[in-house]
Amino acid sequence: MSEPTKSENTRAAIPGQPGSGSAAGGPAAEAATVTKDGKDGKDGKDGKGGERVASLWTDAWYDLRRNPLFLIGGFLVLFMVALAVAPQLFTDADPRAGGFCNLADSLKRPSADHWFGFDVQGCDIYTRTIWGARNSIIVGILTTTLVVAVGGALGLWAGWTGGLWDSTLSRLTEIFFAIPLLLGGMLIMSTWGKGNAWTVSAVMAVLGWPQIYRLMRSAVISNKHNDYVVAAKALGAGTGRIVTRHILPNAVAPVIVVSTINLGVYIGAEAALSYLGIGIQSPAISWGLMISDAQSRFLTAPHVLLFPAAVLSITVLAFIMLGDAVRDALDPKLR
């Protein structure tokens, strides 16, 4: 039998290449199993009689499904998203319709028919809280999407290419890091004028992208000199294939963790800007606006402020819980 050639030995060490035993898709990977005593059951089975393939993402998902923090946070997040997408499922009333508010009901306390009571204008607080989820969740998701798209793309490019562009972008991010998110948002929004969900998201994205940029850049730099990347280059793999198949999958984990936590932070920041009167403006509905309108009535009618503030706090906490659970699952040091 002839000896294997040098190129064949090199190919066997590259993740993702045919015949490789070190990545998903190779023969060794197909036979690899994870044996965690007390977690995976007997002999590393997946609970259905089959063997579970070992990888960061399958291990993370396996751990997340058994993490109460993830289950509670995930349920709360899905519930809040459902409020934002389909508020009609949770209330028959529409606060945008005429005749929704009645001054005769002003500041009435919670009852069996109106769980959260009424605000100073005689509007049902429960209905407004349900509908207020839409703008708050939109701001969080839209800001996070913009931040990940801009910061992730620039960080990937700078980390891979290096040189002048890397140095220039790194100096630019240092300037942005000197501006606190909330303070910068206050300065820009007070100059901008009336805001809505889109403008608030754009402003926070402009201030928030450097964090994701730095995470992605450092992850790319730490991975691009690994042996499997060098071997892929030696075999003639193009830049696009190397980045998408080898660099990006190994660099995206910290971005996912921080983005999940930051989504809750952006929701809280929007509420703060709206509370100060420089975020989302009436007649739009958001939790921050409701808290702002209720601040002067807290001593005489605390329910007007407590209910929207409680829902806001639960939402922010849910995203932080979700991010913490994902971080624990993706951190190899905690395994």
Residue-wise pLDDT for 266-288, tens only, equals: 999 999 999 998 999 888 899 99
Q: Which two tokens stand for residue 317?
A: 């906490």
- Greater confidence, 58 or 266? 266
The DSSP code for 261 is H
Q: How far from 27 is each of 17, 99, 231, 237, CA to CA, in Å?
A: 11, 68, 19, 21
SS3 252: helix
N-terminal to C-terminal alpha carbon distance within the chain: 42
How many residues belong to the chain? 335
Q: By C-alpha distance, which of 143, 151, 148, 144 is closest to 197?
A: 143
Q: What is the pTM of this model?
A: 0.79
**Structure confidence at residue 2 as a pLDDT band (50, 70, 90):** very low
Which residues 6+ apart lie within 8 Å of 196 measured at CB?
A: 280, 281, 284
Please tell me the predicted confidence (pLDDT) of residue 198. Answer: 92
Q: Is 86 helix (H, G, I), strand (E, B) or coil?
A: coil
Q: Which tokens hold the place of 281?
A: 């403006």
pLDDT of residue 24: 37
Calpha distance 100→92 (Å, rounded): 11
Tokens representing residue 36 in the block: 């965690």
- How far is Cα 103 from Cα 214, in angstroms, rounded to an integer? 52
C-beta separation of 322 from 77 below 8 A:
yes
Q: Are 329 and 60 in contact (CB under 8 A)?
A: yes
Beta bridge partners of 45: 51
Q: What percent of the chain has pLDDT over 90?
A: 52
Confidence of residue 6 (pLDDT cuts 50, 70, 90): very low
Give residue 32's pLDDT.
36
**pLDDT at residue 126, as a whole number:** 95
Q: Is 51 helix (H, G, I), strand (E, B) or coil?
A: strand
pLDDT at 162: 87
Strand partners, 124: 118
Confidence (pLDDT) at 334: 58
94 to 9, 14, 116, 137, 235: CA distances (angstroms): 67, 58, 16, 18, 62
Using the predicted structure, report yes or no on whether residue 333 has a pLDDT greater than 70. no
Q: Is the model's pLDDT at 34 over the cut of 70?
A: no
To 10 degrees, what angle do helices 125-161 and 287-294 make?
130
Q: Where exactly does CATH 1.10.3720.10 map onto the chain?
A: 69-334
Look up residue 191 and give its two tokens: 């100059």
Dist. CA 166–CA 163, nearest whole Å: 5
The per-residue pLDDT for 35 is 40
Superfamily of domain 69-334: MetI-like (1.10.3720.10)
Burial of residue 180 (number of CB atoms within 10 Å: 0-12, 13-18, 19+): exposed
Q: What is the pLDDT of residue 19?
A: 40
- Mean of the per-residue pLDDT values of the chain: 82
User: Measuring CA to CA, which residue among 237, 267, 279 is closest to residue 144?
Assistant: 267
What is the Cα Rg of the chain in Å?
25
